[in-house]
Chain A
Amino acid sequence: MAAEEHAVEGAQEHAPQYATGGEYIQHHLGFLVFGQKEDGHWGFAHSEEEAKDMGFWSLNVDTMGISLVLGLIFLALFKTVSKKATSGVPGGLQNAIEMIVEMVQGNVKNTFHAKNDYIAPLSLTIFCWVFLMNLMDLVPVDVIPLLAQTIAGDSHLYFKAVPSTDVNITAGLALSVFIMIIYYSIKIKGVGGFFAELAFHPFGKWALPLNLVMELPAFLAKPVSLALRLFGNLFAGEVIFLVIALLGWFQLPLHFAWAVFHILVITLQAYLFMMLTIVYLNQAHNDH
């Protein structure tokens, strides 16, 4: 809480003054975009219009960097703990990580019925990575952007701290899961079996177009809902943090209350992403 207060005071000293609350929030919804500018050379966008003009071939450096760093932290942490693991009395960290691993293992065993050694590590990675990315939401909204502005010496730069409020990240995760669904469907059932599942399923083979119309949207909705669920939850949470940050001194208890509630959302969304991945992949492995 003290950090939050400090960040807001700092924001009033250094950062550009915002005319309205809407402007403050709008500024905080932007990204640090790297791409080709209108005059032809590559660099960071300094305003929202400039970022928009870069079009498709631009990169959100901030969310990508933070998600990569968090992924490396997850890997390094789990690797050191598993190297140092003892069968004697475990320390606190080893206990916590064993709990996470056992939770994921239990869920995979209960939900996933085919045999595939790849699913449990995948679920563990998804759970921990998404959880860490969501956890960045609990860092006070102005701390990391202000740090980045101070280091870069540019008050117009905005550094987004929460990777999962960037739809590119969540859509990337969901698309990789979607590709795995298609891969395993074709691998287990063959191309014909996969097509038959989409085309002949509810009404038999004489109603093929109707079947396709019913099954294809449900199939394509999987990655979309997976991506938008995570993005929507975290985006809404982030915007509410930003709205609370406009309130002056009243923000301290409100931030605390919303942060406590948000811990539930963070864990639940990471858990849901993992569970739905397992469920979808189980459907892909299910040979009728």
Chain B
Amino acid sequence: METIYAYTLISAALIFGICGAGTAIAFGNLGGKLIESSARQPELAPRLQTQFFLVAGFVDVISIIGVGMAMLFIFAVPFQV
């Protein structure tokens, strides 16, 4: 039982960490590009912002599903024996 808990926690930590890293890179790129293009063409900024939020949703879905799964693993341990 303790081994299962330990492995569950390690896997949850891995999910959090890797998901966080991927999303961080993606959001860095995304935000940087948004600011860059808004600076180039300020009149397009509102339209770019809608697109930005749309893509932000695409970007964070995997990580947020991962976080949800990790939370489930931690608190509702599904592998009880």
Contacts and interface: CB of A to CB of B under 8 A. Distances in A.
A268 B54 CA distance: 9
Interface string B45-81: 0010010011011001100110111011001100000
Contacts of A236: 64, 67-68, 71
Interface residues of A, number: 22
B53 A239 contact: no
Contact of B57 (A22, A25, A229): A229
Given A29-B75, A235-B68, A239-B75, A228 B53 contact: no
Contacts of B64: 229, 232-233, 236
B75 A22 contact: yes
Contacts of B57: 229, 268-269, 272, 275-276
A275 B54 contact: yes
Contact of A107 (B50, B56, B69): B50
A110 interface: yes
A150 interface: no
Contact of B71 (A107, A239, A268, A276): A239
Contact of B68 (A110, A231, A269): A231
A229 B65 contact: yes
A31 interface: no
B61 A228 contact: yes
Interface in B26-56: 47, 50, 53-54, 56
A275 B54 CA distance: 7
Nearest to B64: A232
A225 interface: yes
Nearest to A167: B68
Contacts of B67: 232, 236
B18 to A, nearest CB: 16
A26 B60 CA distance: 26
A271 interface: yes
A220 B60 CA distance: 19
B4 to A, nearest CB: 14
A49 to B, nearest CB: 11
Interface of A: 22, 25-26, 29, 107, 110, 225, 228-229, 231-233, 235-236, 239, 268-269, 271-272, 275-276, 279
Given A272-B53, A276-B57, 9 more contacts: A22-B75, A26-B75, A26-B76, A107-B50, A110-B50, A233-B60, A235-B71, A236-B67, A268-B57
